[in-house]
Amino acid sequence: MWLTARVLEQRLFAHHFLHGTPDAVERALDAYRNEDGGYGHALEPDLRGPVSQPLHTAHALRVLDAIGRCGGQRVERVCRYLTSVSTPDGALPAGHPGQRGYPTAPFVPVVDDPPGDLLATGPVVGVLHRNAVWHAWLFRATDFCWQAVESLEESHPYEVEAAVIFLDSAADRPRAQAAADRLGRLVRKQRLAALDPGLLDAFPVAPGYAPGEHHFPHDFARSPDSLARAWFTDDEMARSLDHLAAEQQEDGGWPVRWRRWAPAPALEARPLVTIEALRTLRAHGRFVG
């Protein structure tokens, strides 16, 4: 963390594991905030440049959620930004056209008229619901997420992760439980989760993903309280967490599994992955020091 992390991740790491203050994290996050209420400046490392983007803003909301600051006027401004970039169906696109002309990962689409995307919308709606935020933007965005999740016939791991974040905080718990049960059956049928890290050849990598970009039970159920935890047996989850712990590298960090397309994004992503790995292990009762 001290060798390669940005100031924001250093302070977030300190908050989670070294008794650092939320104020320090919030000050570091402010450097990425734009006048339109959104966030930019490569906060999400795979999108470079200064302009606000939904994926940057979703990242900012995750940070605010992690430090207990996801509310108030700051989030009101965020919701106004989200309203301004939403698609006609009330959802968020993965990439807004304003990104054009700045370096962008090849797997993030930037088109003139982007469609609404569950991968972009689900995590934002989930975080806002978890923090009891209510704004007019949420009504149509929530409807979009329900329709998208309940109509999934095929999917890929990152989209499923986004759906889980939404379902874990959706207000209608019986409906969320039913949708999660159906989604879990889809995950197992399509073999989207590598249930045995020792037999990875038995689990295909999703089309368009990097070679070896497998997803494991802990990627879907990042805490025991997640609806996705019921998708996996105790043995499957234990193997998954053992594999996660074993992935720590000699320098103390965890590897980036997705496609690397430039040096800076890969360098900046490793501290993010490392914090997420440590938080997941701790949430599941594993000792992290």
Shared-domain flag, residues 111 and 156: no
CA atoms within 13 A on the CB side of 93: 20
Q: Which amino acid is at 142?
A: T
Cα–Cα distance between 20 and 22 in angstroms, integer?
A: 7
Please give the pLDDT value at position 187: 98
Q: Tell me whether residue 143 is in a domain.
A: no
Q: Would 141 be classed as within a structural domain?
A: no
Based on the fold, state whether residues 50 and 126 are members of the same structural domain: yes
Q: Is 104 helix (H, G, I), strand (E, B) or coil?
A: strand
- The residues, any chain, with a CB within 8 Å of residue 15's CB and separated by 6 or more, are 21, 22, 24, 25, 66, 67
**How far is the CA of 269 from the CAs of 21, 172, 188, in angstroms?**
22, 34, 28
Q: CA–CA separation, 166 vs 118, rounded Å?
A: 9
**Mean pLDDT on 85-105:** 96
Q: How confident is the model at residue 170 (pLDDT cuts 50, 70, 90)?
A: very high
- The average pLDDT across 47-74 equals 97
Bridge partners of 47, per DSSP, are 104
Crossing angle of helices 22-30 and 7-17, in 10° steps, is 160
Of 158, 153, 146, nearest in space to 190 by CA: 153
Same domain, 242 and 274: no
Tokens standing for 203? 């689990």
C-alpha to C-alpha distance for 78 and 218, rounded to whole angstroms: 30
> Nearest Cα to 61, choosing from 33, 88, 42?
33
When the pLDDT of each residue in the chain is averaged and rounded to a whole number, the result is 97
Instruction: Please check the confidence at residue 109 and state whether its pLDDT lies above 90.
Output: no
Residue ranges making up the domain that contains 108: 32-134
State yes or no: pLDDT of 117 exceeds 90.
yes
Band (pLDDT 50/70/90 cuts) for residue 213 is: very high
Residue 204 corresponds to which tokens in the numbers above?
Answer: 């295909």
Crossing angle of helices 7-17/263-283, nearest 10°? 10
* Calpha distance 131→235 (Å, rounded): 32
If asked whether residues 10 and 62 sit together in one domain, one would say no
Q: Say if 269 falls within a structural domain.
A: yes
72 and 118 in a single domain? The answer is yes
Verify that 193 and 240 share a domain, yes or no: yes
Confidence (pLDDT) at 289: 77
pLDDT in tens, 230-280: 999 999 999 999 999 999 999 999 999 999 999 999 999 999 999 999 999
Give the per-residue pLDDT at 26: 97
121 pLDDT above the threshold of 80 = yes
Residues 65-75: tens digit of each pLDDT: 999 999 999 99
Share above pLDDT 70 across residues of the chain, in percent, rounded to a whole number:
100
Instruction: Indicate the number of domains in the chain.
Output: 3
Structure confidence at residue 2 (pLDDT): 94
Question: Quick one: 258 and 286 in the same domain?
Answer: yes
Mean pLDDT of 11-22: 98
Tell me the pLDDT band of 192, cut-offs 50, 70 and 90: very high
Q: Do 36 and 124 belong together in one domain?
A: yes
